[in-house]
Amino acid sequence: MTLCAILPPQILVAIARNGTPEQRRRALATLAVSERMRGRREVRASMLVAVPTGQKRRTVYDAQHATRLPGVRVRGEGDPDSGDAAVDEAYEGAGSTYDLYFDVFGRNSIDGQGMRLDSSVHYGVDYDNAFWDGAQMVYGDGDGDLFERFTISVDVIGHELTHGVTDHAARLEYHDQPGALNESISDVFGSLVKQRVRGEKAADADWIIGEGLFTSRVRGVGLRSLKAPGSAYADPVLGNDPQPSHMDNYDRSPEDNGGVHVNSGIPSHAFYLAAVAIGGFAWERAGRIWYDALTKRLAPDSDFAAAARATQAAAADLYGSGSAEEKAVRDAWSQVGI
C-alpha cells in the first residue's frame, strides 16, 4: 500500500492507529512530512494523542504440558499460523479481544498502554481450565473426556484477557459480589468479542460462554448463558448449570470465593437484558455503557447495586438523562432484582 500525502491527516492518523506495522510506519512518516511541509504542528500533536505508544503485541508460548510459565515461545506478532490449533486460537483470540477494546473503546491493550498479550497453551496434563495469572493468559488442553482445549471458544479468551483489563481498571476484589461482578464483566466482554467476530446483533446472538468447550459426551451447550443463566448444561457428571438470574436465587455458599462463577449470572443477565432492549450490536451502546462503568465508575468493593448505579449513570452521561438507553439499563437491573 502506498500512502500519498494527498490523504487527509485524519485518514493517516486512522491508518497509523489501525494499520499493519508497515502501514503504520508509512502513515507516520507521511504525517511527519506533511507537518514539515505545511508547518502544521497540530497534525503532530493530534498524531501523538491518537497513536498510542504500543500496538498489538501477541506472543504465544507452549508450556509443553508442564506448569512452569510461560514455556517455549512458539508464535510472535505477525508470524504465520503455527499449525497447532491451540497456539493459533490463542493468537487469533487475543487479537480479536485486543481489536474490540481498541476499535470500539479506544483502549490500547490490557493496561491501556499497549501491554504485551502473552498466552501459554498446553498447560499441565489433562488440565480442565483457563486462567489469568496476573500477567498472562494460560490454557489447558482439557481432559478430552468432558472438556476440549480451552482456546476453542473465543469468548473464553476474551474472558481471561478481560480479567487483566479489570485488574487495570476497577480492580474489583475477587470475592462475593465484587468478585461475581469481576467474573460477569469477563463474561460480558468475552461475549462481545464473540458477537463482534461473528457480526451478530444482540437479538441474534446465542450469549453462550464456552460453546464448543464440552466434548460430545456432555449434555450442554457451554459453560454459561447470559441469556438464560442456569440453562447451559444439565449433565449426569457435571450436574446442572447452577447460575441464578435473579437476586432471589443468590448463592450464599462460601465456596469459590463466595460463588464468583455462580452469582455472576445475575449481573450478566442484566447486561443481556439491557443489550437486547437497546438493540443493534451489543458492543456499540450496551458495551460502551459497561466499559465506561468499568473504567470510570466502579471501585474495588463495588457490589451489584453499585454496578447498577454506575451503569445507569454511564448511560445517562453517554446518551442523555431520560434516554432510552438509560431506561433500558435501569429496567434490566430491576428485572434481576437490583
Rule CB under 8 A: say whether 159 interacts with other proteins: yes
Cβ at position 89, least distance to other proteins in Å = 15
> Binding residues for other proteins, how many (CB under 8 A)?
34
| Amino acid making up residue 289 | I
Rule CB under 8 A: say whether 132 interacts with other proteins: yes
The C-alpha torsion from 199 through 204 and 210 to 214, rounded to 10°, is -120
For residue 197, what is its C-alpha cell? 467476530
Beta-carbon-side half-sphere exposure of residue 322 (alpha carbons within 13 Å): 0
Is the CB of 111 or the CB of 284 nearer to other proteins?
111
Map the footprint of other proteins across residues 174-213, applying CB under 8 A. 174-175, 182, 186, 210, 213
Query: Which uninterrupted H or E stretch holds 260?
Result: helix 255-263
d(CA 92, CA 98): 10
Is the CB of 159 or the CB of 330 nearer to other proteins?
159
Is the CB of 176 or the CB of 200 nearer to other proteins?
176
284 a catalytic residue: no
Q: Check whether the bond before 70 is cis (ω within 30° of 0).
A: yes
| Amino acid making up residue 334 | S
The correct pick among 133, 200, 303, 317 for binding other proteins (CB under 8 A) is 133
Smallest CA-to-CA distance from 149 within 78, 73, 93, 76 is with 93
Which residues are paired to 209 by β-bridges?
224
In sign, the C-alpha dihedral spanning 141, 129, 117, 162 is positive
Rule CB under 8 A: say whether 227 interacts with other proteins: no
77 a catalytic residue: no
CB 230 within 8 A of CB 241: yes
Cβ at position 138, least distance to other proteins in Å = 9
Which residues are paired to 72 by β-bridges?
62
Rule CB under 8 A: say whether 321 interacts with other proteins: no
Rule CB under 8 A: say whether 128 interacts with other proteins: yes
Rule CB under 8 A: say whether 338 interacts with other proteins: no
| One-character DSSP codes across 165-182 | HHHHTT---SSHHHHHHH
Query: C-alpha angle 96/102/103, rounded to 5°?
Result: 85
The correct pick among 20, 64, 113, 240 for binding other proteins (CB under 8 A) is 240
Cβ at position 237, least distance to other proteins in Å = 8
CB 117 within 8 A of CB 109: yes
Out of 122, 159, 163, 261, the active site residue is: 261
Q: Which stretch binds other proteins (CB under 8 A): 8-16, 19-27, 152-160, 192-200?
A: 152-160
d(CA 81, CA 194): 20
Residue 332, C-beta contacts closer than 8 angstroms, at least 6 positions apart: 270, 271, 272, 273, 274, 277
Smallest CA-to-CA distance from 18 within 124, 93, 104 is with 104
Rule CB under 8 A: say whether 257 interacts with other proteins: yes
Map the footprint of other proteins across residues 31-90, applying CB under 8 A. none
Q: Which stretch binds other proteins (CB under 8 A): 40-48, 75-83, 167-175, 292-300?
A: 167-175
The correct pick among 10, 129, 215, 334 for binding other proteins (CB under 8 A) is 129
The correct pick among 19, 242, 244, 287 for binding other proteins (CB under 8 A) is 242
Out of 89, 122, 159, 160, the active site residue is: 160
Rule CB under 8 A: say whether 224 interacts with other proteins: yes
> What residues are labeled active site?
160, 261
Binding interface with other proteins (CB under 8 A)? 128-135, 147, 150, 156, 159-160, 163, 167, 174-175, 182, 186, 210, 213, 223-224, 238-240, 242, 253, 255-257, 260-262
